[in-house]
Structures are given as C-alpha cells and as structure tokens.
C-alpha cells in the first residue's frame, strides 16, 4: 500500500545517522522515532498538553507530537535513550533515589524538561521547579518526589 504523500528526510538521532528515510508527510516526529524502535518517547495525548513526548531537537526541548518528521530534516535529535552524559547520569541517580517515577511513562519527557532546567544553570526554588515542570503530566507521583529529585540535582550540579 503506497503512502500518498511522503517526504525524504535525513537526520541524526542520539548520534546515529538516518539517511534519506521516506516518511509520510503527516507522520509526527514522535511516531517516526517510535517506528525506528526508539520507543522511549511516549505518546500521552498527541495534543502537546501532557509532555510525555518531549525530546531535544537542535538543543531545545520540544513536543515531538507537534512536529512533523518532515520538519526534522537536517536536525540533531536527542531522545531519552541518548541521555547518557555526566549531568543526566547524576539526574537519573537522583530520580532513582527519590523514587521520582512510578510507572515510568512520564519519565522520558520529565527528564527532558529536567535537562533544560539544569542547562539553564539557574538555582530555582521548589515553586519555580514546579512551574518549570508544570507542562509534564504525572498521574502516579503527585510531583513531590520529582521536585525533590530536581532540587537535589540542581544543588549538586549547578
């Protein structure tokens, strides 16, 4: 069955090159990544409201369900599978320590938002941390342990 409208894209994901891949024009970036086996990026709403699909594109946190794969041509993407630098390793240790996740479905997006918080180098209060993660829905934790983990990460790293 042919795809009526398609586009060829080339991009880099977690350091891996995808060259001249044909994607349906309507396919969003989250679905593209998941179709390539990078299933760490999750879909919670496809509306941009829950934050589960948040990834890093060209150095910035974005909602991958609100970007067409077509738009990612030439981009540098990092997903949760590629969060393995020293800073993120420390963050993950704190997330584990504070049990800042239960089912784990929100975690990839939450970690991406945390990555941006840490990169900003700002020392945030708990209220300010809550404001920064206010676009990431978590149904399990009630957010407190996530704030604990981010607070400790900020203190440790910045």
Q: In the range 93-132, which residues lie near another protein by CB under 8 A?
A: 95-99, 101-108, 111-113, 116, 126-127, 130-132
Residues numbered 62-91 forming contacts with another protein, rule: CB under 8 A: 62-63, 65-68, 70-71, 73, 79-81, 83
- Tell me if 27 contacts another protein by CB under 8 A: yes
- The whole-angstrom separation of Cα 124 and Cα 111 is 16
- What is the nearest approach in angstroms of another protein to the Cβ of residue 52? 6
Count of C-beta atoms within a 10 Å radius of residue 115: 21
């Amino acid at each position: 069955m042919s795809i009526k409208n398609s586009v060829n894209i080339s991009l880099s994901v977690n350091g891996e090159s995808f060259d001249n891949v044909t994607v349906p024009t309507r396919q969003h970036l989250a679905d593209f990544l998941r179709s390539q086996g990078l299933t760490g990026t999750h879909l919670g709403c496809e509306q941009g409201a829950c934050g589960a699909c948040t990834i890093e594109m060209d150095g910035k946190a974005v909602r991958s369900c609100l970007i067409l794969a077509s738009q990612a041509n030439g981009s540098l993407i990092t997903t949760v599978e590629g969060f393995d630098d020293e800073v993120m390793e420390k963050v993950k240790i704190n997330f584990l320590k504070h049990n800042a996740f239960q089912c784990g479905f929100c975690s990839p997006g939450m970690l991406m938002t945390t990555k941006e918080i840490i990169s900003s180098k700002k020392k945030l209060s708990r209220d300010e941390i809550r404001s920064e993660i206010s676009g990431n829905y978590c149904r399990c934790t009630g957010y407190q342990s996530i704030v604990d983990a981010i607070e400790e990460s900020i203190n440790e790293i910045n």
